[in-house]
Amino acid sequence: MQTHWPDNHPTVAFGKIGILLVNLGTPDGTDYKSMRRYLKEFLSDQRVIEEPKWKWWPILNGIILQTRPQKSGKAYDAIWNKERNEGPLLTITRSQAEKLAERFAAMELGRPVVVDYAMRYGNPSIKSKIEALAEMGCERLLVLPLYPQYAAATTATVNDAVFDVLKTMRWQPALRTLPPYHDNPAYIDALAASLKSSLAKLDFEPEVILASYHGIPKRYFENGDPYHCHCMKTSRLVREAMGWSADYMRTTFQSRFGPEEWLQPYTDKTVEGLAQSGTKRIAIFNPGFSADCLETLEEIDVENRHIFMEHGGEQFAHLPCLNDSEEGMEMLALLTITELQGWV
């Protein structure tokens, strides 16, 4: 049956599925203004800093945003993708989206699929990408927050931003979001395969391996955030998959910020303690990060390497995240196909 639209009816694209990969974010540059703009957006999120505005905003605007942009800019500059003039997280996330799109293009899904990527903070924004997907005719949208372990400050704030965009749309796409995948067999298998490959390339055998996750304030955990439980389960499953003991592979937490207590044990203090106690060879991997970024490339591979060597260590290795590796892309494809069931 032919549909007859009025002559003044707007042109409407339809019939497609949109897949949007979302990671934390990256500044547009390492200069003061770019860093300040990025940090202000990030640290103004009340999911990230759970403090009343009256208490936090004077600290943020009066102290932190006056001093931290210079320090963070120097750290970003050390890992910056000079060729593309962008942060490595943006480079890797774009590649993940492109490779996922290639995989779906080769499949018979019965419905056109469009894959894109966005950043929760900075550019490209979630808003701009959802609007672009809708204009392309994506009536259904699957959002993939690229955080294996759920935290309100990561997964939830991505979903918040998505919901905020949909609230402004007259014609909303049907929506699905990727649940935490901290214990998904595809994720554990990918981590194990990546670890075996990375360790085989080392010219030494680590005495201890640390699984270092981004930390959160202990208060968030006590208020009901499942993040700590998810991290510990991931570590246990990886140890079992690798046949390692709890003493050989230990779990730590990094990137604490501010004066209050965060999840422990702290990565930097553990690294220091290991070196002081006579451990000479360690390796660190980051199973809470889907792509290498400032917290892995600079905080772990630079800062913690320096801490270890300074206190008596001799050989240090940072093992890469899954990134856009074959293992990582196979995992993302499996997770995505699972969530698309019934749509394709």
Q: Would you say 169 and 303 are in contact if contact means Cβ atoms under 8 Å apart? A: no
Whether residues 202 and 334 share a domain: the answer is: no
Whether residues 313 and 335 share a domain: the answer is: no
CA distance 124 to 327: 26
Whether residues 176 and 242 share a domain: the answer is: no
What is the amino acid identity at position 312? G
Residue 308: which residues within 8 A CB-CB, separation 6 or more?
271, 272, 274, 275, 282, 316
In a domain? residue 147 = yes
**CATH number of the CATH domain containing 154:** 3.40.50.1400
Whether residues 57 and 173 share a domain: the answer is: yes
Q: Would you say 179 and 56 are in contact if contact means Cβ atoms under 8 Å apart? A: no
How far, in whole angstroms, is CA 204 from its chain's centroid? 29
Whether residues 288 and 198 share a domain: the answer is: yes
Quote the tokens at residue 129: 């990408």
Quote the tokens at residue 238: 């990886």
What's the pLDDT tens digit per position in 54-87? 999 999 998 999 999 999 999 999 999 999 999 9
Count of domains for the chain: 2
CA distance 189 to 186: 5
Q: How many CB atoms lie within 10 A of CB 78?
A: 12
Packing angle of the helix pair 88-105, 326-339 (nearest 10 deg): 60
What is the length of the chain?
Answer: 344
Whether residues 64 and 127 share a domain: the answer is: yes
In a domain? residue 57 = yes
* pLDDT in single tens digits along all 344 residues of the chain: 445 667 776 677 788 999 999 999 999 999 999 999 999 999 999 999 999 999 999 999 989 999 999 999 999 999 999 999 999 999 999 999 999 999 999 888 888 999 999 999 999 999 999 999 999 999 999 999 999 999 999 999 999 999 999 999 999 999 999 999 999 999 999 999 999 999 999 999 999 999 999 999 999 999 999 999 999 999 999 999 999 999 999 999 999 998 999 999 999 999 999 999 999 999 999 999 999 999 999 999 999 999 999 999 999 999 999 999 999 999 999 999 999 999 98
Q: Would you say 140 and 174 are in contact if contact means Cβ atoms under 8 Å apart? A: yes
Whether residues 166 and 245 share a domain: the answer is: no
Residue 24: which residues within 8 A CB-CB, separation 6 or more?
89, 119, 120, 121, 154, 293
CA distance 283 to 199: 9
What DSSP letter does each residue of 40-97 carry, written as one string? HHHHT-TTTS-S-HHHHHHHIIIIIHHHHHHHHHHHHHHH-BTTTTB-HHHHHHHHHH
Query: For residue 216, what are the domain limits?
Result: 185-318
pTM attached to this predicted model: 0.95
Beta bridge partners of 212: 252
Whether residues 260 and 275 share a domain: the answer is: yes
Q: Would you say 72 and 63 are in contact if contact means Cβ atoms under 8 Å apart? A: no
CA distance 226 to 149: 8
What's the pLDDT tens digit per position in 124-181? 999 999 999 999 999 999 999 999 999 999 999 999 999 999 999 999 999 999 999 9
